[in-house]
Structure 1
Amino acid sequence: MTQSPPYAPVSPIAPRSARSPLWALGLGIAALLLSWVPVLGLLLGLVAVIIGAVALAKAVRRTQSAVGLGLGGVALIIGIIVLAALGSIASNGVNAAATVSATSPAADLAGEPSIAATTEPTTKPTVTPTKKAAPTVNKPTTMAPAAEPVSLEQQNAIRSAQSYLQFGAFSRKGLIRQLSSDAGDGYPLKVATRAVDSLHINFNEQAAKSAKSYLEFSSFSRKGLIQQLESDAGDGYTHSQAVYGVTKAGL
């Protein structure tokens, strides 16, 4: 009898579902290493989280799936922090440029009245019949108030206010309350007020955004929405701002 030649055993091919944990793990590691890159790390982390979650749902290699899912989540958090930091740096640069341009005209105007006021009395001397010069009267000079220096706490309050406005709409009263309350940021009331007023916010447009937000999730009459926007228990807009916001929202 002829004996059949021996064949080497063929290793089984892993199914596609078994590769998902490896993909999740690899993408999670890559996302963590590239998390400092604003967009790339964020996308890799998101893909790692999705693939890891699918692999966990299929109960395939739970350890690798869980590690990939965790690394992807950490990369997502780091990517969001990096994006927020870049946005804060960009907004601070714009505010610094606006502050410099706003203070330079005030300094030029501050020096002009004193020259006119000091030269005017000396060019018009008066002589009395007794040959004695009349006493000169010093006219008060109007000086523009010098801009108060912005403290570090004030700068932080301004950044906090800008951060809140990026994610929602606020009235002047509501934003000051958020910055100064113990449940919010805890800034002194004077610091919070000055920070909000320095941003020159268009609160009519803020009221319109708030009105549209309410109408997206609930139904209101025109009168009821105006009351919601202007009440202290609601948003705290003025009556005119609330009316403008409701009208702009189309109600």
Structure 2
Amino acid sequence: MKEIKGKRIARIMVLSLFIGLFSMTGVITTQPVTNTPVVTEVKAATMGQKNALRRAKNYLSIMAFSKKGLIKQLKFEGYTTKEANYAVKHCKANWKKQAVKKAKNYLDMMSFSKSGLLKQLKFEGFTTAEAKYAIKKVYK
């Protein structure tokens, strides 16, 4: 029995040594165990944020916007940067699809070369990836 207990203690010591070494190197991090529940605070949206979000959704239902373009429009209307950013983050827009819509709108109104349309979409605030995605979709 003493031999089994000795082996168990030896294993625990070796395991403790490895855990100690790994935690010093950053491979394993240990956190203290407490019986206190962790409470994360979730802040409710302000009235301004809610209004900006409602306005953003309204805009997106009518016309296509880039993320930057929508923030710019909301700020133009008097929403703060914080409110506009909240709206853009929570409006659940697919910015690639917005780029495709905007590209189609442009092509319905006038002719564009691929490079010209790319420049125009980037000017509107779409990222290069979003603009290239849109061009790939509309020039099938």
TM (norm. structure 2) is 0.71
Indicate the residue corresponding to 2:67 in structure 1.
172
Structure 2 Cα separation of the partners of residues 228 and 143 of structure 1: 49
Indicate the residue corresponding to 2:137 in structure 1.
248
Trace 1:75-154 onto structure 2 (pairs within 5 A).
138-139=32-33, 143=38, 145-154=40-49
Q: Does 1:211 pair with 2:106?
A: no
Structure 2 Cα separation of the partners of residues 172 and 219 of structure 1: 24
Indicate the residue corresponding to 2:89 in structure 1.
197
Match of 2:118 among 202, 213, 226: 226
Structure ranking higher on relative contact order (CA contacts 8 Å, 6+ apart): 2
Structure 2 Cα separation of the partners of residues 248 and 154 of structure 1: 33
Change (3 A) 1:223 1:148: same
Structure 2 Cα separation of the partners of residues 142 and 203 of structure 1: 38
Task: Give how far 1:195 is off.
Answer: 1.1
Indicate the residue corresponding to 2:28 in structure 1.
none
Structure 2 Cα separation of the partners of residues 143 and 221 of structure 1: 56
The aligned length equals 109
Change (3 A) 1:144 1:246: farther
Task: Give how far 1:249 is off.
Answer: 1.1
Secondary structure class of the residue paired with 1:180: helix
- List gaps (5 residues or longer) in structure 1: 1-136
Query: What's the CA shift string for 1:27-54, capped at 9, x where partnerless?
Result: xxxxxxxxxxxxxxxxxxxxxxxxxxxx
Structure 2 Cα separation of the partners of residues 201 and 144 of structure 1: 30
What's the % identity of the aligned pairs?
39
Larger radius of gyration: 1
Structure 2 Cα separation of the partners of residues 142 and 218 of structure 1: 60
Task: Give how far 1:147 is off.
Answer: 1.9
The letter for the 1-side match of 2:42 is A
Structure 1 Cα separation of the partners of residues 38 and 72 of structure 2: 34
TM (norm. structure 1) is 0.41
Change (3 A) 1:139 1:173: same
Task: Give how far 1:155 is off.
Answer: 1.1
The letter for the 1-side match of 2:57 is Q
The letter for the 1-side match of 2:63 is G
The letter for the 1-side match of 2:130 is Q
